[in-house]
Structure 1
Amino acid sequence: MNKKDIFFIGLMLFALFFGAGNLIFPPFLGMEAGESLWPAILGFIVTGIGLPILSVTAVALMDNGVRSIGDNVHPIFGIFFAVIIYFAIGPFFGIPRGANVAYEMAIAPFLTSTTQPYSLFIFTTLFFAIVFWLSLNPSRMVDRIGQLLTPILLVAIAILCVSGILQLNHPLQPATEKYANAPFFKGFMEGYLTMDTIAALAFGIVVVSAFKLRGVQEKTVMLRSTVQAGLIAGIGLSLVYISTAIVGAKMATVGTFTNGGDLLSSAANQLFGSGGKLLLGVIVALACLTTCIGLTAACAQFFTEIMPKISYRIYALMITIFSFLVANLGLNQIISISAPVLAMIYPLAIVLIFMSFFHRFYMGSRKVYGGALLFTALFSLYDGLTAFGVQTDWLQSTLSWVPFFSVGLGWVIPALMGGVIGWGIDRIIGLTDPQYRSL
C-alpha cells in the first residue's frame, strides 16, 4: 500500500473526526483539571482517540459498517443499535452541537445583552437552511471546503495554542472538585462527549471504501493500513487536545467560562484582539458547517437504505428541522442532555468493539455477546440515570461493590463475566455448531 495514500486517508479521517466536540471539551477540561491536567488529558485521549481508532479498525475487520457490529448480537439489535448511533451523532446531539459551537465562537462573542435573545434562533435558521441546501448534493462542496478549511483551521488553532502557551503566564490552579480525585478516570469519562467512538462506527466504512478504491482487498493489508491511517489522525488530534487543554488551564484565572467555545474565543481576544477572535470564529463556524452537512448526508443516506420508501430529500429535511429545534436549546443544555445518553451508549459500544476483535475465538457466539452486553447494560443504565439526576440509591447499593464502580467503569468486570457465562452456557448445552447459532 502506497504510504502517500495512507497519509492522505489519515488526514481525511482526522477531518471526519475533527468537529465541535474536539474543540470545546479539551480546553474546558484543562480549566477544571488545573494541576491535574496531565492525567486528565491522558484519560481523555484514551476515549477521545484510542477508542475511535479501535472502532474504525473493528469496522474494517467486520467490513460492513456499523450494522455489522450489532449484527453479532442479533440482526434486530444491529438495526436498533445503528439507529441509535446515527440519531446520536446526527439530529439529537452531533449536528445541533456543531451549530451551537459555530454560534458560540463566531456570533455570541460580538453580541450585547440587548441583541442576544433572538440571535441564536436567527443564526440557526440561516445555518440550517444552508446545511439542508448543501446536503442535497454534498460531496463536491464538502470535499472542496473541507480540503481547504481543515489546514487553515489547524494553522489557526496552532497559532492560538502556541501563542497561548508562550504568552499566558498564569500558573495552573488547583483542580476543581470534579478532578480532585481520580483525574485520569474523570478525563476518560469526559472523552465520551466527543462522540468520536460511536461516530467512528459510521465513519469506518468510509475509510474501508477509500482503501478499496485504491486496490486494497486483502484483509491483513486492510487492517494494517487502517491502523496506520488511524495513527496519523490520532497524532493530529492529540496535538489539538493537549495544546487546547494547556491553554484552557492557563485561562482559568482570567475569567469564568461556561463552555470551551467561550474560553477559546476569550483566549483569541486576549492574545490577538477582536480581529483574531473574529478570524478564529469564522473558520470554526465554517468547519462546523461542513461537519453538519456531512453528518446530515450520512444520516439521510443511512435511513434511506433501511427505509427506502421515503426519499433521501425528505430524510435530509426531517433531520435538518429536528436538528434546528434541538440547536435552539443552547449549547450548555445540549451537553447536559447528551452526557447521560452517552454514558449509557458508550459502554455498550466499547464492549461491542472489543469483542469484535476476538470474534473468531468464540466462533461469534451470540450468547457470549448477549451475556457481555446484558451485564454491561445494567451498569450503563445506572450511569445514565445518575447523570440525569434520577435517584438510584437502591441500585447504587446493589452495584457499588464492583471494582471501578466509583470511577464510572463498573461495567468492565461484569462485561467480562457476562461473556464468560455466555460462553459457558454455549458449551454446556452443546451449541457449538455455527449454523445452529446463527438461527
Structure 2
Amino acid sequence: MAPASPPRRPGLLWNAATSIIDQAWLSALNLAVGLVLIRLTAKQDYGTYAQLYAAGLFAATIAEALITNPLTTLASQYTPARRAAMIAHMDRFQGRLSWGIAALFGLGCMLAVHLLQLPQAVALGAAFALYVKTNAMREYRRSILFIDEKARQVLGIDLRYGAAVLAATGLLVWLGWLSVPAIFAALALANVLALWGTARRPAPAAGEAAGALGYAQAVAESWRRGRLGLPGALLAWGINYSYLYVSAAWLGAEAAADLNASRLLLMPISLSVVAWSRVARPVMGAQIAAGDGAALRRLLWASVLGIELLTLAYVLALWAALPWLQHHVLGPRYANVGPLVLVWGAYFAIYAARWVGTALMMGADRYRYMLGVAVTSFLFMLVALLLIPRYGTLGAIMALAAVECLSLALVWLAGIRIVSRTAPP
C-alpha cells in the first residue's frame, strides 16, 4: 500500500501561512469575548465561564484523540481510495460520538451547577451541551479540510464563525442579556452558521468503499491508536487545566479568574502552535513514511526556531502594552494579572518547543510512548500542584512550567532518535 507523497514545500508554506492567519483570527476572537466578559460580568461569572470553556476543550480532546489524530496519522499512509473510505466512515462515527459526549457534558454541567447552588443550572447545562456538539462538528470539518490541504476553506469557515460570534455577543451586550448561558448559546449558534452551506465531502461509491475499507474496520483502525492516544490526551488536558480547578478550590473563583485572564492574553501563542501543527503533522508523517530524514530535520529545527522567535516577540509586545490594557480593558478588579504575564510567557516558550516534539511523535505513530510520557508528567503534576497553596497563583504557573520541562525532555529524547533513524526504505 503506497503512502501519499510528501507535499511540496510551496504548498506547505502557503497552507502554514493560511493556518496561522486562521488561528490569529480565532485567537483575537477568543481574546475579544474573554475581555468582554472580564469587563462586563462579575469576576465569579468569568471564573465559571473559564472553567466551562476548559471543560469544552476536554470534550474536544476526546474526539480529537479517538478520531482526528488517528485519521491524520493514517491519511499519510493510505491510498486515495482507502483514505476517502476512512474519512466517510469517520464522518458517521464522529456524529454518533459527539452526540454522546455533548449529552454527558451537558448533564455534568447541570449537576455541578446545581450542587454548587449557582443559578440557571438547566439553562447553562443545555447551552453548554449545544456548544459541545456544534463545536465538535466545526472542529471535525476543519480537521478534514486540513488533511485535504484546503486551509483556505478552513479560514472561510472560521471567518464566518467569528463574524457570527461578534454579532451575537454585541447583540447580547446591547440588549443587556450578557450571561454565561447566553454566551455559550451564542457560540453554539455561531458554529452552526459557520458550517451553513458548506459542502460535505462526497462519500465513495458503495463498491469502492466496501473494497477499500468497511465501517467496522475503519473504527477498529482508529481505535487501535485512539485507545492509546485517549488516556494520554486526557492526562495532557489534566496537566494543562487542572490548575484552574485546583486554584478555584484552594484560592477561590477569583484567583481562577486572575489566572485565566492572564493566560488569555498569551493564548495567541498556543493557538499559533496549534496552527503550525495542523499543517506540519501530516507532512511529518509523510516524510517519515518516505524516509526523508533530511527534510524532516529541516522542518523540525525551522519550526522550533520560528515558534520561539514568535513567542519572544509576542511576550515583549504584550509586556509593553500591559499598562494600557490594565487601565482601559482589564480594570482594577484584575490588578494582579500584570506580574503573572511574564511567568506565563516562560511557560509558553517551553510549551511551544515541547509541542513540536509531540507533533513529531504523533506523526511517527508513537502513541504508546506518548501515553507513557503523559502518565509520567501527570504523576509529577500531582506533586507540583503543592506549589499552589504555598505560592498562590504564581505557584500554579510554576507547577505547569515544571511539568512542561519534564515533558519536553522526554519527548525530544525519543524524537531525536526518530529523526536519526529516518532513512529511505
TM-score range, shorter chain: 0.3 to 0.5
- State the TM-score, normalized to the length of structure 2: 0.32
Q: Structure 1 or 2: larger helix share?
A: 2
RCO greater where, 1 or 2, for CA within 8 Å and sep 6 or more? 1
Calculate the TM-score normalised by the size of structure 1. 0.32
